[in-house]
A and B are shown apart, each in its own frame.
Chain A
Amino acid sequence: MIPTEFDYKRASSLDEAVSMLVASGGEGKFIAGGHSLVPLMKLRLSEPSLLIDIARIPDLAGIREKDGKIEVGAATTHHAVETSDLLRRLAPVVAEAAGEIGDPQVRHRGTLGGSLAHADPAADMTAVMVALDAEIHLKGPGGWRAVRAADFFQGIFTVDMAEDEIIAGVQFAPVQAAAYAKLHQKASHYPIVGVCAVLQASGGTVQSARVAVTGASTHAQRLPEVEAALAGKALNQATIDAAAAVAGSGLEDINSDIHASAAYRRAMVKVFTRRALERAAARA
């Protein structure tokens, strides 16, 4: 399968990438890992006339600690996230979830920023960023903007990002009591459903929780019914079971496809919410 013709440029800085995109007058597209875009271009579902390669921009690289927060550059590959010592130490859930994406070849090429920008209804890192309450940092011709992950994902392949903006990176607080649980689609390894749970607990009581789901509906989103069922309760199996039992009750537009019916996904949202909460609780 051969894509339609296009021109190719490699950007060497964030500003150059944005000005190349602006100059293309809506015809250009960024390419990072290419592991969502290239398949679409081969099917001619996407036909940009210019590709701007952002994979090697130094400003988009790296995982670092800054002012007590963790920053991950948009062009960081899933594999670099999975194997990062810093993340394994300060936010293990992020490294673990990245290690569940696709297969080794996909993780070597695909990037965090590409995954968030593409916003596949079944992307893994979208739910993780929502549950971590991460900030997504965007740069456009007008300057910088930060958007909370929960506001960034708006619908199927739809995010709060203008045509001429680029994701530079994400920022989130270190976290231990968190876990991601995923039902793999056996061939592609995309999640049929994936749930990320983050707990704030002290003295055996849940202070608050953030729980987000992906794969189930149009986009990654929080499960407020689960969070409400946890807040202020004793952190034990009964609380987890009760919270998991209501998981997904507020979800609309449940996906249904050849891999799983809507009814099956609804059932699995409960199961994987329970598993994510159990694993997060074991770390609280």
Chain B
Amino acid sequence: MSTRVPVTITVNGKVRTAEVEPRLLLVHFLRENLGLTGTHVGCDTSQCGACTIMVDGQSAKSCTIFAVQADGCNLQTIEGLAPEGGLHAMQEGFWEEHGLQCGYCTPGMIMSGVDLLNENPNPSEAEIRKGIDGNFCRCTGYQHIVKAIQYAAKKG
């Protein structure tokens, strides 16, 4: 048995403490320990981006991080995006522009869109496509996802 490690991780503004096995993946910590199932596991091989969250303000694939590595970090998941009673501009964009079909890729896609606009508030179409390089969508063909991000960028 490996030694459990105490961690303190802020998730969507709430401080969470736990003792975790070092091999526990961050995505499983979120989904199973905290019940935050908005973050999805698609491929489990670091490719698809369905598990994308923000770690200290930067997008990251939570299936490729051990929870112990996030000790002391500030995380944001899809559940922490919307203001009380409303939608985040990126969520509104996906709603208005039909940026999803099955919705499986959507939480990760939205987090990547938010990360992109944090760095580059007025991206070109090419920059948007490069910004979602790490996210696969098997349904939409990406066209409406690009429009959704453009909508959010326009809304500012």
Q: In the bound complex, how far is the Cα of B66 from the Cα of A34, in angstroms?
A: 9
Q: Using Cβ atoms and an 8 Å threshold, which residues of chain B touch A188?
A: 47
A279 within 8 A of B: no
Query: Counting CB contacts under 8 A, is B16 at the interface?
Result: no
Q: Which B-chain residue is minimally distant from A189 (CB atoms)? A: B133
- Bitwise, A59-87 to B at CB < 8 A (1) or not (0) is 00000000000000000000100000000
A31 in the interface (beta carbon within 8 A): yes
- In chain B between 76 and 123, which residues have their CB closer than 8 angstroms to a CB of chain A? 112, 115-116
- A185 to chain B: closest CB distance in Å? 11
Q: State the Cβ distance, B149 to closest chain A Cβ, in Å.
A: 13
Min CB gap A108→B, angstroms:
4
Q: Which residues of A contact B112 (CB under 8 A)?
A: 104-105
Tally of A-B Cβ pairs under 8 angstroms: 81
Q: State whether A7 touches B3 (Cβ < 8 A).
A: yes
* Interface residue range, chain B: 20 to 34
Q: Are B134 and A105 in contact (CB under 8 A)?
A: yes
Q: Which of B23, B25, B52 contacts A105 (CB 8 A)?
A: B52
Partner among B22, B25, B69 whose Cβ is within 8 Å of the Cβ of A7? B22
Interface check B39, CB cutoff 8 A:
no
Residues of A close to B55: CB separation below 8 A? 108-109
**Docked-complex contact A31 and B69, CB < 8 angstroms:** yes
Stretch binding the partner chain, chosen from B30-38, B56-64, B138-146: B56-64
In the complex, what distance in Å separates the CA atom of A50 from the CA atom of B63? Answer: 20
> Which residue of chain B has the shortest Cβ distance to A4 in the bound complex?
B23
Contacting pair A105 B22 (CB below 8 A):
no
Q: Tell me if A233 is interfacial: C-beta within 8 Å of chain B.
A: no
B42 neighbours in A (Cβ, 8 Å)? none
Q: How many angstroms from the CA of A125 to the CA of B78 in the assembled complex?
A: 33
A5 touches B133 (CB 8 A): no
What chain A residues lie within 8 Å of B65 (beta carbons)? 34, 38, 109
Tell whether, in the assembled complex, residue A5 and residue B47 are in contact, meaning their CB atoms are under 8 Å apart.
Answer: no
Are the C-beta atoms of A55 and B23 separated by less than 8 Å?
no
Nearest A residue to B49, CB-CB: A105
| In the complex, chain A residues whose CB is within 8 Å of the CB of B61 | 105-106, 109
Q: Which of B124-138 contact A (CB under 8 A)?
A: 131, 133-135
CB-nearest residue of chain B relative to A99? Answer: B130
Q: Is the CB of B64 within 8 A of A104?
A: no
**Is there contact, CB below 8 Å, between B21 and A5?**
yes
Tell me whether A104 and B44 are in contact (CB under 8 A).
no
Contacts of B52 in A (CB 8 A): 105
What separation, in Å, do the CA atoms of A189 and B46 have in the docked complex?
A: 12
In angstroms, Cα B131 to Cα A234, docked, is: 40
* Interface presence of B5 (CB below 8 A): yes
A42 CB within 8 Å of chain B: yes
Q: Contact at A102–B134, with CB atoms within 8 Å?
A: yes
Are A6's CB and B133's CB within 8 A? no
Question: Provided the pairs A5-B21, A35-B64, A109-B64 are in contact, do residues A104 and B2 lie with their beta carbons within 8 angstroms?
Answer: no
> Which of A3, A31, A79, A103 has the most chain B CB atoms inside 10 A of its CB?
A103
* CB-CB nearest in chain A for B131: A104
Within the complex, the shortest CB–CB distance from B40 to chain A, in Å, comes to 14
Q: Does A45 make an interface contact (CB < 8 A)?
A: no
Residues of B within 8 A of A35 (CB): 46, 64
Other-chain residue from B25, B58, B66, B68 in contact with A79 (beta carbon distance below 8 A): B58
Write the residues of chain A forming the contact surface with B, with a CB cutoff of 8 angstroms. Answer: 1-8, 10, 31, 34-35, 38-39, 41-42, 51, 53, 55, 79, 102-106, 108-109, 187-189
9 tightest Cβ-Cβ pairs between the two chains A and B: A103-B134, A8-B22, A103-B133, A108-B58, A5-B2, A105-B134, A105-B61, A8-B68, A3-B23
Listed A/B pairs (18) with beta-carbon separation below 8 Å: A1-B44, A4-B23, A5-B1, A5-B23, A6-B22, A7-B2, A34-B66, A51-B22, A55-B69, A104-B116, A104-B133, A104-B134, A105-B49, A105-B52, A105-B60, A108-B59, A109-B55, A109-B65
